[in-house]
Amino acid sequence: MTAAPSPSSSSSTPRRLTVMAGPTAVGKGTISANIRARYPEIWLSVSATTRDPRPGEVEGVNYFFVGPTKFHEMVEDGELLEWAVVHGQNSYGTPRAAVEAQLNAGIPALLEIDLQGARQVKESMPDAQFIFLAPPSWEELVRRLVGRGTETKEEQERRLETARVELAAQSEFDHVVINDDIERATDEIISLMGLTPHAN
C-alpha cells in the first residue's frame, strides 16, 4: 500500500527554490563553490553586480560584472527578481529570467544573496525556502573576515556593521545553519533542499 504524502513528508521532495543569506565572511562563497562542484544537479544563480571583479573571478561564473548604467537599465526593465545596495556600496541583483527558466524546468535553484534581497524574494516567492548561514560566534566571524585579508580596515568595519543587522534578522528565516564546518554545513543545506548528501 502506498501512503499519500503528508505535509510532514515534504522534506523528501526537493524544494525548488532555496535562498541562502548570511553575514560577510561566514563562508557563503565557499559553500556555494562546494555545492557547485559536488552537486551539479543544483543550479546556482549568477548575480549581476556593479562591483569590480576580484582577482580570479570570472565573468558569468561568479557574477555578471556590469556598470551602474547597465544595472540601472536592468532594474528599470524589471529584469531583476530582487536587488539591493550591499554594504552601502555596490548594487547586486538576481536576473529574473534565468531563475524562472530553471524553476519552470523543475531544476532546484539556489540564490546566495543578502538579507535585503532575501526579504524581497520572500514577498514575491513566499514558497521558497529561506536559509540563514550563521557563524559559530561573533568572534569567529571577525576572525574569518580579518583573516581572509581581502578588505581594507574601513571595509571590514562597514561589513561588520551590516553583519550585526543581518544576524539580528535570522529568526525571519525558515532554518539557521551554523557554519562550524564547511562539509557538514554544505550537507545540511543539501538535506534541507530535499536532496541526498553524497561524497565528493
Contact residues for ligand 5GP, defined by CB under 6 A? 28, 47, 51, 82-84, 86, 92-94, 112-114, 116-117
Contact call for residues 7 and 99 (beta carbons, < 8 A): no
When the beta carbons of 15 and 28 are compared against ligand 5GP, the nearer one is: 28
Residue 92: strand pairing partners = 49, 84
When the beta carbons of 27 and 93 are compared against ligand 5GP, the nearer one is: 93
Residue of minimal Cβ distance to ligand 5GP: 117
Shortest Å, Cβ 51 to ligand 5GP: 5
Shortest Å, Cβ 58 to ligand 5GP: 13
When the beta carbons of 57 and 180 are compared against ligand 5GP, the nearer one is: 57
What gap in Å lies between CA 11 and CA 8, rounded to an integer? 7
What gap in Å lies between CA 80 and CA 97, rounded to an integer? 8
Q: Which of helix, strand or coil describes residue 3?
A: coil
Contact call for residues 26 and 179 (beta carbons, < 8 A): yes
Shortest Å, Cβ 22 to ligand 5GP: 7
C-alpha 17, offset from chain centre: 11
Shortest Å, Cβ 83 to ligand 5GP: 6
